[in-house]
């Protein structure tokens, strides 16, 4: 007998779904999306660091915090810049730079950066469709403080590139973050807490140790983060029979 099962991508999506359709609560299972690891594994990290950093005026000695988003305000760029402004006066072993990839009001955020004394510390790269794996590999850690994100694929991509992450509890990918192990989950309104996490990740050895966890490489390649390419793949990966659910949620 076929069992109808609904597959939200995160606990956040599950909770929203059940709130809307409480009568199906017993048939909801989380199935996280995946990332194709081959896009990262075929590249040389050192070469990517050299090329991308040269392209955007960053030095090898810089510690680079990466932000990726198609809506700067929604994804929390204001809060990231504010946190960087607060730690600007704290001495660092290496210069800290922010690389912003994606689409948004650059003039607005350049002005915010200037007011925070960071106009020389932020690079706006625009949309990078063809080189995203290289961009991830050129960075040192990742931050996204979204007001709401059902999952947040860029978080998973950053993890695939062995970057520790700093995200808000409003990001569905928090399901895959082990606090202090491969990243941090912190309220986006708590700028002091965000600043403290950034300061922790200025320690190169800590970044490398946390990045190596990647939610556990075993978990990325063995199920949770395998590329989901078809219903056939999902049926092989999930212990229920899957059917087209579009007409069954009313």
**Quick one: 24 and 83 in the same domain?**
no
- Nearest Cα to 62, choosing from 93, 31, 86? 93
CA distance linking residue 220 with residue 41, whole number of Å: 13
pLDDT at 92: 81
Question: Does 175 reside within a domain?
Answer: yes
Whether residue 93 is predicted with pLDDT greater than 90 in this model: the reply is no
Q: Structure tokens of 69?
A: 């988003």
Question: Does 127 reside within a domain?
Answer: yes
pLDDT more than 90, % of the chain: 74
**Quick one: 20 and 120 in the same domain?**
no
Range of the domain at 23: 1-31
What SS3 class is residue 223? coil
Whether residue 50 is predicted with pLDDT greater than 80 in this model: the reply is yes
Mean pLDDT, the chain, as a whole number? 87
For the ranges 162-166, 195-199, 239-243, the lowest mean pLDDT is seen at 239-243
Confidence class of residue 213 from pLDDT cuts 50, 70 and 90? confident
pLDDT at 18: 95
Whether residue 66 is predicted with pLDDT greater than 70 in this model: the reply is yes
Question: Does 15 reside within a domain?
Answer: yes
List pLDDT tens digits, range 94-118.
899 999 999 999 999 999 999 999 9
Question: Does 236 reside within a domain?
Answer: no
Q: Please enumerate, as own/partner, the contacts of 153-159 that have beta carbons within 8 Å and a separation of 24 or more.
A: 153/33, 153/35, 154/68, 154/69, 156/32, 156/33, 156/34, 156/35, 156/225, 157/35, 157/68, 157/132, 157/133, 158/66, 158/68, 159/183, 159/214, 159/215, 159/220, 159/225
**Quick one: 45 and 143 in the same domain?**
yes
pLDDT at 237: 56
**Quick one: 23 and 84 in the same domain?**
no
**Quick one: 14 and 42 in the same domain?**
no
Question: Does 239 reside within a domain?
Answer: no
CA distance linking residue 75 with residue 10, whole number of Å: 17
CA distance linking residue 227 with residue 43, whole number of Å: 18
**Quick one: 179 and 89 in the same domain?**
yes
**Quick one: 206 and 96 in the same domain?**
yes
pTM: 0.87
Whether residue 64 is predicted with pLDDT greater than 90 in this model: the reply is yes
Task: Order the strands of the 122-126 sheet from edge to edge.
Answer: 122-126, 96-102, 63-69, 141-144, 165-167, 183-185
Residues in Cβ contact with 166 at an 8 Å cutoff, skipping those fewer than 6 apart: 141, 142, 143, 144, 145, 183, 184, 186, 194, 197, 198, 201
Give the chain's domain count.
2
pLDDT more than 70, % of the chain: 84
Question: Does 178 reside within a domain?
Answer: yes
**Quick one: 80 and 124 in the same domain?**
yes
CA distance linking residue 151 with residue 164, whole number of Å: 17
**Quick one: 136 and 209 in the same domain?**
yes
Q: What is the CATH number of the domain that holds 63?
A: 3.40.50.2000
**Quick one: 27 and 47 in the same domain?**
no
List pLDDT tens digits, range 139-196.
999 999 999 999 999 999 999 999 999 999 999 999 999 999 999 999 999 999 999 9
**Quick one: 20 and 107 in the same domain?**
no
**Quick one: 47 and 149 in the same domain?**
yes
């Amino acid at each position: 007998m076929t069992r109808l099962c609904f597959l939200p991508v995160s606990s956040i999506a599950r909770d929203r779904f059940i709130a809307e359709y409480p009568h199906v609560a017993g048939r909801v299972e989380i199935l996280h999306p995946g990332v194709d690891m081959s896009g990262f594994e075929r590249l040389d990290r050192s070469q990517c660091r050299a090329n991308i950093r040269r392209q955007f005026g960053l030095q090898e000695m810089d510690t680079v915090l990466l932000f990726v988003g198609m809506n700067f305000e929604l994804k929390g760029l204001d809060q990231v810049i504010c946190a960087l402004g607060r730690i600007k006066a704290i001495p660092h072993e290496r210069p800290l730079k922010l690389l912003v990839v994606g689409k948004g009001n650059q003039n607005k955020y350049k002005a915010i950066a200037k007011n925070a004394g960071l106009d020389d510390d932020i690079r706006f790269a625009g949309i990078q469709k063809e080189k995203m794996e290289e961009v991830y590999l050129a960075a040192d850690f990742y931050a996204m403080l979204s007001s709401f994100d059902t999952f947040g694929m860029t978080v998973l991509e950053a993890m695939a590139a062995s970057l520790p992450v700093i995200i808000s509890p409003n990001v569905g990918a928090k399901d895959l973050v082990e606090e202090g192990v491969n990243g941090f989950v912190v309220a986006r309104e708590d700028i002091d807490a965000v600043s403290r996490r950034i300061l922790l990740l200025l320690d190169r050895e800590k970044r490398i140790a946390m990045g190596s966890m990647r939610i556990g490489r075993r978990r990325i390649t063995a199920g949770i983060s395998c590329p989901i390419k078809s219903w056939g793949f999902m049926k092989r990966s999930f212990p229920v029979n899957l059917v087209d659910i579009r007409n069954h949620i009313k």
